[in-house]
Amino acid sequence: RIKASGLKLQLCTNETQATREDFVRKLQALGFDISVAEVTAPAPAACRLLRERGLRPHLLVHDDLVPEFADIDKTNPNCVVLGDAAENFTYANLNEAFRLLIGMEKPVLISLGKGRYYKETDGLKLDVGAYMKALEYACDIQAEVVGKPAKRFFESALAELGVPAEQAIMIGDDIVNDVGGAQQCGMRALQVRTGKYRPSDENHPEVKPDAYVNNLAEAVDIILQQL
Amino acid sequence: RIKASGLKLQLCTNETQATREDFVRKLQALGFDISVAEVTAPAPAACRLLRERGLRPHLLVHDDLVPEFADIDKTNPNCVVLGDAAENFTYANLNEAFRLLIGMEKPVLISLGKGRYYKETDGLKLDVGAYMKALEYACDIQAEVVGKPAKRFFESALAELGVPAEQAIMIGDDIVNDVGGAQQCGMRALQVRTGKYRPSDENHPEVKPDAYVNNLAEAVDIILQQL
């Protein structure tokens, strides 16, 4: 409905459990007409950054994300890239990433997002941000976050759209990463009352959405009514 | 040598991978004449706190520490107690502790220390503090730390000794938890250049030991020379 109306659309995801190809395939199977070029995701942004700075990553990410890093030199690592590794967040893997970092003269930790948790059908799960904080504390460093809510991430999505921030609106369920991140970039933002939304979000000390909507369909209704 | 000289001795450990009984047995096997009463450790301190406040813990601790909580009601938990769980720091166990906390009206997380990492024969490992930070961030809460460097922990050790802070000296390898914690309590503190000591500790922005010693034997030499 958004695309049919003539509005431009870009999906901004912090999904790091799969490649963009997998992600798009899932949406297509659900009946959405989406292509890879319409998806802004952290892994390709991280690859650009790694190439620019000559960094060779040790990956602590989900197995299914590894193909996004196929063309990146991973020998003799001089940084750690952290994604939502899910089952790969083992005690052994976390210690390995930690030892690599603490052994570097100037540890570089690149995190594909800083979400606190997310919801799956079997319940809430710790997101990459929690593990990022663990490694930051252990090494006394600050991670570089690629993905929402980084300003550069939203700017890159706007560049794909060819639309200035003030003409764009973000719809999301994450008060900090979706709503706060987009607003800091000059966009307006709607929070849906689904997914990881919790009623306490409506009293968030720092972020206030431009409006709340009950779900994604209602967000689309309201946007199309303004045309 | 310390005990033979007539000085009083108390071991302050953040060891949470074993009961005090196990810990003392290990030291006795190494030839040290130590009893359980001479050990101040986080788990008994946590048990006192749980009883005082009517808290029923969900334990995310090392299997070998569980006996310290034998007399504590653990049904229908209303708090989480976090120790250095080592191999028990699995993805599933961390998600379980997180879900319990985020489901509480006012989440209570009690952490048996906040060390960043420690050294074992097979290398450096993430300590309980890193996992505490992960849960703090995910739940947007502050943990209550029992164990070093909490002031109450050192005060309880001094009470065992019956010695005022200004007449006591702490010897440790951890610049923040041993040296900083003891100094904040009014004690003097020596840092040994062994164990988790790293040369960069000597430029620590906040903590400055009263002196450095190359190892524990040298600390004892120096202390006995002052008598």
Minimal C-alpha gap between B92 and chain A (Å): 8
- CB-CB neighbors (< 8 A) of A124 in chain B: 95, 98-99, 102
Domains annotated for chain B, with CATH where assigned, are: 2-14+149-226 (3.40.50.1000), 42-145 (3.40.50.1000)
Minimal C-alpha gap between B35 and chain A (Å): 32
Burial B182-203 (b: 16+ CB within 10 A, else e): bbebebbbbbbeeebbeeebee
- The one-digit pLDDT tens for each residue of chain B (227 residues) are 999 999 999 999 988 889 999 999 999 999 999 999 999 999 999 998 999 999 999 999 999 999 999 999 999 999 999 999 999 999 999 999 999 999 999 999 999 999 899 888 889 999 999 999 999 999 999 999 999 999 989 998 998 899 999 999 999 999 999 999 999 999 999 999 999 899 999 999 999 999 999 999 999 999 999 88
CA dihedral A140, A146, A149, A152 (to 10 degrees): 120
pTM equals 0.83
Q: Is B142 on the interface with A (CB under 8 A)?
A: no
Q: Is B84 on the interface with A (CB under 8 A)?
A: no
| Cβ atoms A59, A85 nearer than 8 A | no
Among B199, B193, B174, residue whose Cα is nearest residue B113: B174
Parallel/antiparallel/unpaired status of strands B144-146 and B79-82? unpaired
Q: How far apart are CA A122 and CA A27, in angstroms?
A: 20
- Measured between CB atoms, which of A125, A127, A137 is closest to B130? A137
Say which residue the tokens 């005022």 belong to. B164
The helix, strand and coil proportions of chain A, stated in percent and rounded to the nearest 5, come to: 45, 15, 40
Q: How far apart are CA A203 and CA A118, in angstroms?
A: 19
Q: How many helices (H) and strands (E) does chain A have?
A: 7, 11
Looking at residue B28, its amino acid is Q
Minimal Cα distance from A135: which residue of B?
B130
Minimal Cα distance from B204: which residue of A?
A140
Which two three-digit tokens encode residue B152?
């109450």
- The one-digit pLDDT tens for each residue of chain A (227 residues) are 999 999 999 999 988 888 999 999 999 999 999 999 999 999 999 998 999 999 999 999 999 999 999 999 999 999 999 999 999 999 999 999 999 999 999 999 999 999 899 888 889 999 999 999 999 999 999 999 999 999 989 998 998 899 999 999 999 999 999 999 999 999 999 999 999 899 999 999 999 999 999 999 999 999 999 88
Q: Is B134 on the interface with A (CB under 8 A)?
A: yes
| Cβ atoms B86, B17 nearer than 8 A | yes
Q: Which residues contact A89 (CB under 8 A, 6 or more apart)?
A: A60, A126, A131, B91, B94
